[in-house]
Amino acid sequence: MTAPLLQVDELRVTFDIRPPGAWPWTPSLKLQAVGGVSLQLAPGEALGIVGESGSGKSTLARAIIGTIPSTGGRVIFDGRDLTTMDPATRRRHRRDVQMIFQDPLAALNPRMNVGDIIAEPLLTHEPGLGRKAARRQAAELMERVGLLPNLINRYPHEFSGGQCQRIGIARALILRPRLLICDEPVSALDVSIRAQVVNLLKDLQREFGVAMIFIAHDLSVVRHVSDRILVMYLGKMMEVAPARALIATPRHPYTKALIAAVPIPDPLREKARPRPVLEGELPSPLNPPSGCVFRTRCPIARPSCAEGPPAVLNPGPGHFVACPWIDEA
């Protein structure tokens, strides 16, 4: 394997929550959104991250890109630790890592026209370029993402959700970044538009050779885009494996439940198949279960699961599972 483009070591993000009606001197409650996640990403690789709402996927992405400060661990990009950089150096390094957001319209400044929005990263990092040249590049990229370049003077509210997401993609790619982080880029879009945007992302990823972290709560979308998939639950990694292996032979009980929840577009088969539904709710991240965080809802949990973090097994090449009981279930 080549040297990783991105290496995340035991990354933690903790939020301070002020209890309601607290005195100024009472200590804040600690909400652990990301509890020690490690991952590696090779250049050009696409990693999918799935998990239900509140599992810390988006927080992980924002901690990697640095819009949320991390409280522990390291993010090493291209051999340099991003978490210890001073703000000015960090700003210069941002050109290599770009992000696509969940709500396509909210991610665009309503007072700026499309050309200026797409050209903004370019003018920020290459101020000598000039607005005209930057807008010309923006127009070229608009064409590439499937927008008519003569709409360059229009404003975000004049576009549909799918078009807005294309603008967001163009803005993220104009600097030719080496890592693209997509935070649920299609979950706010209409189902009919989803496939188009996902395919566009996939094509552009190949064309630009950019590594990608693709976050979604929908396994069927992630499967389509990713080379590898990482499953998160309550801020912890549950399982990571090559996409094909994870879908075909899921080992972790949580992954199995997630895959079982993906609907099959055939009512007869859908009715016939067994359905290991998860019981209960996601526990509060303010007070996560001891030991394995999944044990409160796990069908194969046993008393010893509460004692410590679960051992990580390696049942196949590149396949890691944070559950010691997978061979017995």
Partner 1 sequence: MAMVPRAAVQELEAALAAGQAVRGRSLWADARRRFMANRAALVSLAILVLIALFAIFGGLIAAWDIETVDWSALGTGAAVNGRPSFATGHYFGTDQDGRDLFARTVQGTRISLMVGIVGSLVAVVVGTLYGAVSGFVGGRTDQVLMRIVDVMMSIPFMFVLILLLVVFGRSIIMIFVGVGLISWLEMARIARGQALSIKNMEYVEAAVAIGVRPMTIILRHIVPNLAGIVTVYATLLIPNMIIIESFISFLGLGVQDPQTSLGALISRGAAQMQYGTLWMLLFPLGFLIVMLFTFFYVGDGLRDALDPKDR
User: Which member of 5, 6, 41, 99 binds partner 1 (CB under 8 A)?
Assistant: 99
Distances (CA, A) of 14 to 57, 73, 217, 306: 14, 12, 22, 22
Decide if 176 contacts 205 (C-beta within 8 A). Answer: no
The rounded distance, in Å, linking the Cα atoms of 101 and 56 is 15
Decide if 171 contacts 121 (C-beta within 8 A). Answer: yes
Nearer to partner 1, 152 or 231 (CB): 152
111 makes contact with partner 1 (CB under 8 A): yes
Q: Shortest approach of partner 1 to residue 225 CB, angstroms?
A: 20
Residues with Cβ within 8 Å of residue 285, at least 6 apart in sequence: 31, 32, 33, 54, 56, 234, 235
148 makes contact with partner 1 (CB under 8 A): yes
How is residue 218 written in tokens?
């929908």
Phi, psi of 307 (to 5 degrees): -80, -40
150 makes contact with partner 1 (CB under 8 A): yes
User: Which member of 83, 98, 165, 205 binds partner 1 (CB under 8 A)?
Assistant: 98
The rounded distance, in Å, linking the Cα atoms of 7 and 236 is 16
Q: How many other C-beta atoms are found inside a 10 Å radius of the C-beta of residue 325?
A: 19
Site residue total, partner 1 (CB under 8 A): 40
Nearer to partner 1, 148 or 195 (CB): 148
Decide if 47 contacts 242 (C-beta within 8 A). Answer: no
User: Which member of 46, 77, 94, 141 binds partner 1 (CB under 8 A)?
Assistant: 94
108 makes contact with partner 1 (CB under 8 A): yes
User: Which member of 132, 157, 269, 275 binds partner 1 (CB under 8 A)?
Assistant: 157
Paired residues of 9 in beta bridges: 74
Residue list 170-189, contact with partner 1 (CB under 8 A): 171
How is residue 49 written in tokens?
């991250």
User: Which member of 81, 158, 190, 207 binds partner 1 (CB under 8 A)?
Assistant: 158
Q: Looking at 27-35, 71-79, 116-124, 202-210, which segment touches partner 1 (CB under 8 A)?
A: 116-124
Decide if 60 contacts 37 (C-beta within 8 A). Answer: yes
The rounded distance, in Å, linking the Cα atoms of 23 and 145 is 53
284 makes contact with partner 1 (CB under 8 A): no
User: Which member of 28, 84, 153, 284 binds partner 1 (CB under 8 A)?
Assistant: 153
Q: Looking at 43-51, 148-156, 208-216, 227-235, which segment touches partner 1 (CB under 8 A)?
A: 148-156
Which residues are near partner 1 by CB under 8 A?
A: 62, 65-67, 91-95, 97-99, 101-103, 106-114, 120-121, 124-125, 148-155, 157-158, 168, 171
